């Protein structure tokens, strides 16, 4: 029974990949990434996005370690927020996005969300590391 099910599952999985268009040709244009060497299929695009997401998460995890360290220099959880620092980061990120060919608005929106999430994380870490009942926000 299981031997018959395995090939059937493989066919279902292959059909699912085709059903979402991942292996269909593009509707317009030709590959432009890596001098046209990538991306002939949506599946290839998605594989690269997944690879990049993996690297981004690794960098975010590293950033999170330093964010937690920054809390050691703050007198209380309220001191975590630093609007002037946020605006300086945003200005730097927008300029770097422009240099690297990323829409600065995408970079800014992404960073504002990431900074807000890391501020919440830093406040929570501050409270956890202090072993205090002070609210994390």
Q: What is the CATH number of the domain that holds 110?
A: 1.20.59.10
Picking from 12-16, 17-21, 27-31, 109-113, which range would have the lowest pLDDT averaged per residue?
12-16
The reported pLDDT for the residue numbered 37 is 84
Picking from 19-33, 62-76, 108-122, which range would have the lowest pLDDT averaged per residue?
19-33
Domain-located, residue 116: yes
Domain-located, residue 70: yes
Domain housing 105: 25-130
Q: Give pTM, 2 decimals.
A: 0.74
Domain-located, residue 12: no
Domain-located, residue 6: no
Q: Which residues of 91-129 are buried (b: 16+ CB within 10 A; e: fewer)?
A: eebbeebeeeeeebeebbeebeeebeebbebbbbbbbee
Domain-located, residue 92: yes
Domain count, the chain: 1
The reported pLDDT for the residue numbered 57 is 98
Domain-located, residue 136: no
* pLDDT level of residue 6 (50, 70, 90 thresholds): low
Q: Which residues of 64-82 are buried (b: 16+ CB within 10 A; e: fewer)?
A: eeebbeebeeeeebeebee
Which has more pLDDT, 27 or 4? 27
Domain-located, residue 103: yes
* Helix intervals (H) in the chain: 2-19, 42-70, 83-100, 104-130
Domain-located, residue 62: yes
The reported pLDDT for the residue numbered 132 is 64
């Amino acid at each position: 029974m299981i031997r018959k099910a395995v090939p059937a599952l493989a066919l279902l999985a292959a059909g699912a990949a085709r059903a979402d268009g991942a292996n269909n040709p593009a509707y317009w244009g030709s590959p432009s990434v890596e001098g046209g060497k990538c991306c002939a299929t949506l599946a290839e695009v998605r594989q690269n996005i997944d690879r990049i997401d993996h690297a981004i998460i690794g960098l975010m995890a590293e950033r999170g370690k330093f964010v937690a360290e920054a809390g050691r220099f703050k007198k209380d959880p309220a001191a975590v927020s630093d609007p002037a620092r946020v605006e300086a980061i945003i200005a730097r990120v927008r300029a770097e996005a422009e240099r690297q060919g990323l829409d600065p608005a995408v970079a800014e929106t992404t960073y504002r969300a990431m900074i807000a999430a890391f501020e919440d994380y830093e406040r929570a870490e501050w409270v956890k590391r202090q072993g205090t009942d002070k609210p994390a926000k």
